[in-house]
Homo-oligomer: A and B are copies of this chain.
Amino acid sequence: MAILVTGGLGYIGSHTVVELLNNGFEVVIVDDLSNSEKFILKNIEEITGKKPVFYPFDLKRKELLKQVFDAHPIEGCINFAAYKAVGESQAKPVDYYENNLFSLINILQEFKERNISNFIFSSSCTVYGQADKMPIDENTPLKMPESVYGKTKQMGEEILIDFAKAYHRKISLLRYFNPIGAHPSAKLGELPIGVPNNLVPYVMQTAAGIREKLNIWGNDYDTEDGTPIRDYIYVVDVAKAHVAALQKLMNDQSEEGVIDIYNLGTGKGSSVLEVVKAFEMANNVEVPYQICPRREGDITIAYANVDKAERELNWKSETSLEESLRTVWEWQKYLNSRNS
């Protein structure tokens, strides 16, 4: 029983591969290494004592994907492979649409032809936009995301829902809030190529002296300290939710198909300044920062209602913000040791 994990050497992908292997699944990774590094594969093997199959190619290459399905008895897919930088997506929309949609649709063609079910899709809370009330549950009306990145996620959801309905297949759309942190082994973590797009890797690199100062984009939002509020969730908890969602799909005998949708968050919001302070406290380091003008497209507040995942997946986030941020610093130390 093999599970195809696309983007399986990426940030959330690699943590999920570890959880899958620890739960007895065979794993086949396809990752083109465009936003990941090969040593992650070795680290996964060290952590788990198991060897996932690995194919380094771009999922737009249909004929290679077909060979993977020919070679392995694939019974499900967790699809992490996607470009994910919001700012870049605005500058390179055609590449984002091409990469994120072609890879998804090429896999669905194989699923369709081979009668495979069980597809898990990395979606994002960006599909809610600035929701009218907090916390955000799964019935919150969707708004067309402003970014091209966000639109590829919303389109991906639509395509998968239509796929599940037409062919009676089982899918799960997991809407991530803000995954942070690194593996407790400090051998896996977020590996930004170039200047980080997300807060926590930037905080990490600033604390390490790689970046001079953290830019905080606006402190005049309508929140207690003026900085935007997000729901930061530990990446290993996110990874475990994927296994739970996959097991639920695989156990479901419904012949009509299944369309599961879950928010993955903690249910608690933290402001940017709170994250910076928590990082400093947790790791006893300093993070110099400066307040900059607001960044276009940033919303004020978003945190999840996570009752549905708890009820249906028997899953919830177990790791505190401080604990998550400690793993980040251990990961930075590991990266330092690799470079020295």
Using a CB–CB distance below 8 Å, which chain A residues touch chain B?
90-94, 97-98, 101-102, 105, 108-109, 112, 144, 148, 151, 155, 158-159, 162-163, 165-166
Contact of A90 among B94, B151, B159, B166 (CB under 8 A): B166
Give the most central of A94, A144, A165: most B CB within 10 Å. A94
- Cross-chain contact B155 with A93 (CB below 8 angstroms): no
CB distance from A13 to the nearest CB of B (A): 23
Contact of A102 among B102, B108, B165 (CB under 8 A): B102
CB distance from A49 to the nearest CB of B (A): 38
Chain B residues with CB below 8 A from A163, complex form = 93-94
Chain B residues with CB below 8 A from A105, complex form = 94, 97-98, 101-102
Contact of A148 among B108, B112, B162 (CB under 8 A): B162
CA gap between A148 and B162 in the complex, in Å: 7
Contact of A109 among B91, B94, B112 (CB under 8 A): B94
CA gap between A102 and B163 in the complex, in Å: 17
CA gap between A162 and B101 in the complex, in Å: 15
Give the most central of A91, A97, A98, A102: most B CB within 10 Å. A97
Contact of A94 among B91, B97, B112, B155 (CB under 8 A): B112
| Main SS at interface, chain A | helix
CA gap between A170 and B263 in the complex, in Å: 39
Contact of A93 among B92, B98, B148, B159 (CB under 8 A): B159
For the complex of A and B, the 10 pairs showing the least CB-CB separation, nearest first, are: A93-B162, A94-B108, A98-B105, A93-B166, A148-B162, A97-B159, A94-B112, A97-B105, A155-B155, A93-B163
A148 nearest CB neighbor, chain B only: B162
- Cross-chain contact B166 with A91 (CB below 8 angstroms): yes
- Cross-chain contact A166 with B97 (CB below 8 angstroms): no
CB distance from A265 to the nearest CB of B (A): 25
CB distance from A63 to the nearest CB of B (A): 12
CB distance from A110 to the nearest CB of B (A): 10
A161 nearest CB neighbor, chain B only: B93
CA gap between A123 and B72 in the complex, in Å: 41
Q: Please give 5 more A-B residue pairs, beta carbons under 8 A apart, in addition to A94-B109, A101-B101, A155-B155.
A: A93-B162, A94-B112, A97-B101, A101-B105, A144-B158
Chain B residues with CB below 8 A from A98, complex form = 105, 109
A89 nearest CB neighbor, chain B only: B162
CA gap between A97 and B104 in the complex, in Å: 10
A93 nearest CB neighbor, chain B only: B162
CA gap between A246 and B197 in the complex, in Å: 39
Chain B residues with CB below 8 A from A162, complex form = 90, 93, 97, 148, 151
Chain B residues with CB below 8 A from A159, complex form = 93-94, 97
A108 nearest CB neighbor, chain B only: B94
